[in-house]
Structure 1
Amino acid sequence: MNDLLPFLPGQLQQVFDGIPFFMPEIYLSALFVVLLVTDLIFGRNGAWICRIIACCGLLVIALKDVEQLKLLLTGSQLFFNNMLLLHEKTVAFKLMIDILSAVLLLYFNWDDQLASHKKGLTDLYSVVIAAVFGMHLMVMAVNLLSIYLSVEMVSIASYLMVAYRAENAISSEAGLKYVLFGAASSAIMLYGISLLYGFGGSLNLFGSNLMPGLMQVNPLAVALALLLFMVGIGFKLSFVPVHFWVPDIYQGAPTPVSAFLSTVTKVAAFGLLVNLLTPFIFFPGFSKVFNFSLFLSVIGIITMIAGNFAATMQRNLKRMLAYSSIGHTGFALMALVNFNADMQGITALTFYLFAYSLANIGAWMLVSYFSNTANAENMEDFKGLGFKFPLASVAFVIILISLTGIPVTAGFYGKFLVFSSVYTVYQDSHNIWFLLLMITGAVTTVVSLFYYIKVPLNLFLRKTERTTSFSSTSNYLLVSIAIISLLVVCLGLFPDFLVK
């Protein structure tokens, strides 16, 4: 112990120096404590207070994220003993996480099945804030230990959200499956981390020891370690072959929770992947040990094919959106395949993720809306509802058009940016994998039209004989759906608002 005393002042000074770069996360911690205290004071009757505090708190934290840009005028900043990294793209990812989470927190109370839960939603709001804190750490983590801890923090919060409706058998089953699959992927990832640490002698991705150490080891051993490590990341991204949990969990979980898992957690996982890939891709000669570009190309192609073709065979709308999200993951991986110094691929990725997340949240809101009003969950349940609920049905068409990638929506411009970034690199390298990626992306986009069009086909072109009465639902939900539809179109017409 006495031998460590001389180093304590320096370590403490590093902690104090890193606090300005960690202010949004400190505010998140305070918000979590405030929600817990509010829940203790008001109990179930304070659900609306907790919701207001959580949403307003996230908006304040989003402003704190923007303020961090002033700290980056001199470039990226490593802090907390090189455990975390802050740069402009990190701020963009955190901003997306906070804004989308605030929207989802409002949405939780508008889903009748979730809102009617006997425990109330106060606990769920606290869990979401804890998950957001973990996702902030994910997008900043550049140490193998901080990566693992942040992923586990988000995973535990996700397990609680999926199984929140414990009295429901389907939800309980989904929660149990998610925990089992998550624990297995976590163990595999941890084993991969231990191998990387053993081979490189360091946990720091941007340190001077890890990459040279890995270069001295048998390439097959390094490839095995990286593949094991990527299992944990792939579980969060739900790319093939660690995607099999998605349909059952998304169908069994409360609909707003499925929206959360398919959007916000994916944004955080892609932010983590950006930091993870940077040292491996830019270190001279490492592509001969493990070619991440080839790995992501193969995974992206398989994921796009598996997700989109499986979605065409689904009758349940939640399962269709689950497989659709897998296909979108494969498409987003295209942007990382051409990871280069000019960051064109990362810019395309951030816009695509925001456009996809916005439209996907709108789609899940519509699932809740039609479930609340017409108890519609399968495709045949939507027959003839287009004229019963015209505003929601038109909004559904607009949102599905964006998810498909048809002009003039944000989804189209997002896909255009991704295709452009890949094509730019293909012109220089003539890499056959880039060409295959573009072909697969174009074909699966056409395929996605076949299953997305089933919804408007049933809404407007097929008649129903059902005579049951329809229920009323929250007008706030319909207003939010309309706003999201409008934003999707506006971002398609004026994308320069986000892409400079």
Structure 2
Amino acid sequence: MKDLLPNITAQLNDILQSLHLFVPELYLTALFIIVLVTDLLFGRRSVKMCRLVATGGMLLVIVQVINQQVTLAAGNAVTVFGGMLVLHHTAISFKLITDVLALILLMYFAWDDQLRRHPKGLSDLYTIVIGSVLGLHMMAMAINLLAVYLGVEMVSIASYLLAAYRTGNARSSEAGLKYVLFGAAASAVMLYGISLLYAFSGTLDLFSPQMAAALLHINPLSITFALALLMLGIAFKISAVPAHFYVPDVYEGAATPVTAYLSTLPKIAGFALLINVITPVIVSGQNFVNWSGVDLRIVLSVLGIITMIAGNFAALWQSNVKRMLAYSGIGHTGFALMAVATFSATGLSALTYYLFVYGLANIAALMLANYFENTENITNINDYKGLGFKYPLVSVAFVVVMISLTGIPVSAGFTGKVLVFSAVYDVYQQTHSAWLMALMATGAVTTVVGLFYYIKIPLNLFLKRVEFIPDESSKSTNLVVFSTVIALLLIIFGVLPNLLTKVL
């Protein structure tokens, strides 16, 4: 016992010293409790109050994250809580992206007619989302395998609850069930990989010299198998092939604002986690597996190529808006993997910009789809015929968002793709890797393919007329205003990307 006392004292001191670097997460914890208690105290009358508290508290969290971005010098990395988490520029940028998008979603939830009319109300939903954001922060900072698993599970449990939130709705229940089954399998696979790495090395710290030294003496095939299981769990969060099968059904069955959540926040945090997992390999300049047959850059390149092809070509055949956006989201995951495969600071910078503008555009696209669902009760692209003349402002905003998602010039999506291509080409000039060239070629081809399914919406809105167009409805004004603002931002960030890159 006496031998343990100095260690306990040192650990307590480390915890106390780490708290000032954990302020946004402490705010999120307090906010989660406050929203939960507000719901319990006021019951059905608490919806507006919970929404106000959640959005106001999220603003405070964003301020704290920006403060961390300002105070922590660029290039510096600080570990907290005994090496469980790391705080550096990239992690803070990912936290800021998820927090801004979470704030938008917290405002958006109440604008969906089906969610608003649900007997349960929205109070529980705000509580779940705030709790999930804490998990997203954990994923962005985790460098210990235990912290990795805890962060992933916090987000996963929240996602399951959100997907099945509309109890009584058959599609929502089916979406929740499928998500739970696939999620449980992915979680078990990832945990098995973590347990193998721990058994091989005797440590959970990815950056520990002990882990790298121990793994060099283990059978290479065993290490490869363990890392593959770990990566498969992360692939589930970012909806990359082969862990993408659940995406279209879950996204279609969930409420549209929940689809906006599932298609952006867990994916962005998943990329932050992927970076944390592969960083030890980049820093050490060698793979964990001391075997020339395994090259992490080749693995990520192949994964990116297959994911781009699978997502974009499957989206071509979709007529449901949410399913089309689900498959296109898989394609965007593959494109984002291009930036990760560079293993460079330029690639990371391009990745943060790309994911943020993708998140904005995807949420705006689902908001606009939600508008037509509210006003016309339609979810099929073919039913949009002639509605561009009935709802001109909404339709023009929809076209701008589609332009950004496609990557056509002047939009932020185009700038994001240019930054990713530039980062990959810079590394290609140094390494002359055939896989990087294959990535760029696939990215260019699938971008053209994306134009063919994204253009279906503008085509139906403006170029296919109907005989009779009834008077315009005045519903969902908030969706019109907010989606139009996002569409304008996508143009502004496309023309003036420095406004965004300086912050991220």
- Report the TM-score, using the length of structure 2 for normalisation: 0.97
459, 462, 477: which one pairs with 2:461?
459
SS across alignment from 1:109: helix
1: CA distance between counterparts of 2:195 and 2:492? 47
**d(CA) in 1 for partners of 2:78 and 2:25?**
16
Alignment partner of 1:320 is 2:324? yes
The separation in 2 between residues aligned to 1:333 and 1:107, in whole angstroms, is: 29
Deviation at 1:471, TM superposition (A): 4.8
1:118 matched residue in structure 2: 119
Shift of 1:498: 1.6
Q: In 1, distance between residues paired with 2:36 and 2:340? A: 39
Please say if residues 105 and 125 of structure 1, whose CA atoms lie closer than 8 Å, have aligned partners that are also in contact. yes
Preserved contact between residue 28 and residue 130 of structure 2 (Cα < 8 Å): yes
Contact 1:239/1:329 (CA < 8 Å) preserved in 2? yes
Q: Deviations over 1:312-353 (max 9, x none)?
A: 00011110000000000000000010113xx10000000000
Q: Secondary structure at the match of 1:209?
A: helix
**2:460 and 2:4 mapped to 1: Cα distance?**
70
Structure 2 counterpart of 1:404: 406
**Corresponding residue for 1:309?**
313
Matched with 1:43 is 43
Structure 2 partner of 1:388: 390
- Alignment gaps of 5+ in structure 1: none
- After superposition, what is the alpha-carbon deviation per residue over 1:241-294, rounded to whole angstroms, capped at 9, x for unaligned? 100000000000000011011111111111111111100222233275442111
One-letter amino acid of the counterpart of residue 475, structure 1 = T
Is the 1:372–1:472 contact (alpha carbons within 8 Å) kept by the matching residues of 2? Answer: no
Q: Contact 2:311/2:328 (CA < 8 Å) preserved in 1? A: yes
Kindly indicate whether residue 92 of structure 2 is the aligned counterpart of residue 88 of structure 1.
no
Q: Distance in 2 between matches of 1:460 and 1:467?
A: 13
User: Match for residue 292 of structure 1?
Assistant: 296
Map of 1:330 onto structure 2: 334
CA separation of 1:401 and 1:467: change in aligned 2, threshold 3 A: closer
Query: Could you say which residue in structure 1 is the equivalent of 2:475?
Result: 473
Distance (whole Å) between structure 2 residues aligned to residue 260 and residue 173 of structure 1: 18
SS at match of 2:86: strand
Q: What is the CA deviation profile of residues 296-327 of structure 1, one whole-angstrom value per residue up to 9, with x for unaligned ones? A: 00000000000000000001111000000000
Q: For residue 128 of structure 1, give the secondary structure of its aligned residue in structure 2.
A: helix
Contact 1:304–1:328 (8 Å) recurs in 2: yes
So what's the TM-score if we normalise by structure 1? 0.97
Q: Partner of 1:77: helix, strand, or coil?
A: strand
Which whole-Å CA distance do the structure 1 matches of 2:67 and 2:470 have between them? Answer: 53
Letter in 2 for 1:87: H
Amino acid at match of 1:190: L
Q: Is the 8 A contact 2:23 2:64 kept in 1?
A: yes
State the partner residue of 1:225.
226
Q: How many residues align?
A: 498
- Residues 18-41 of structure 1 show CA distances to partners (whole Å, capped at 9, x for unaligned) of 101101000000001110111122
Preserved contact between residue 216 and residue 290 of structure 2 (Cα < 8 Å)? no
Distance 1:284 1:451 in 2: 41
Contact 1:402–1:488 (CA under 8 A) maintained in structure 2: yes
Counterpart residue identity of residue 386, structure 1? G
Where does 1:33-112 land on structure 2 (aligned, <5 Å)?
Answer: 33-73=33-73, 75-112=76-113
SS in 1 for 2:378: coil
Relative to structure 2, which stretch is displaced further, 468-477 or 404-413?
Answer: 468-477
User: How far apart in 1 are the matches of 2:441 and 2:7?
Assistant: 56
Report the CA distance between 1:216 and its aligned residue.
1.5
Q: In structure 2, what is the Cα distance between the partners aligned to 1:164 and 1:171? A: 7
Aligned partners of 2:295, 2:43: CA distance in 1, in Å? 53
Residue 465 of structure 1, CA deviation: 4.8
Q: Which secondary structure state, in structure 2, belongs to the residue aligned with residue 85 of structure 1?
A: strand
Deviation at 1:5, TM superposition (A): 3.2
Q: Return closer, same or farther for 1:370/1:27 CA change in 2, 3 Å cut-off.
A: same
1:426–1:123 CA distance, 2 compared to 1 (3 A)? same
CA contact (8 A) 2:390 2:471 kept: no
Over residues 40-88 of structure 1, what are the superposed CA-to-partner deviations in whole Å (9 max), with x where a residue is unaligned?
A: 2221212111111111111110110111135523821001010000001
Q: Which amino acid is the alignment partner of residue 69 of structure 1?
A: Q
Provide the identity percentage. Answer: 57
- Residue type matched to 1:378 in 2? N
Q: Is the 8 A contact 1:374 1:470 kept in 2?
A: no
1:490 alignment partner in structure 2: 492
Deviation at 1:218, TM superposition (A): 1.7
Separation (CA, whole Å) in 2 of partners of 1:284 and 1:296:
16
Deviations, residues 350-379 of structure 1 (Å, cap 9, x unaligned): 000011111111000011000001112011
Distance (Å, rounded) in 2 between the aligned partners of 1:22 and 1:378: 45
Q: Give runs of aligned pairs for residues 371-450 of structure 1, distance below 5 A.
A: 371-450=373-452
Cα distance in structure 2, aligned partners of 1:277 and 1:463: 51
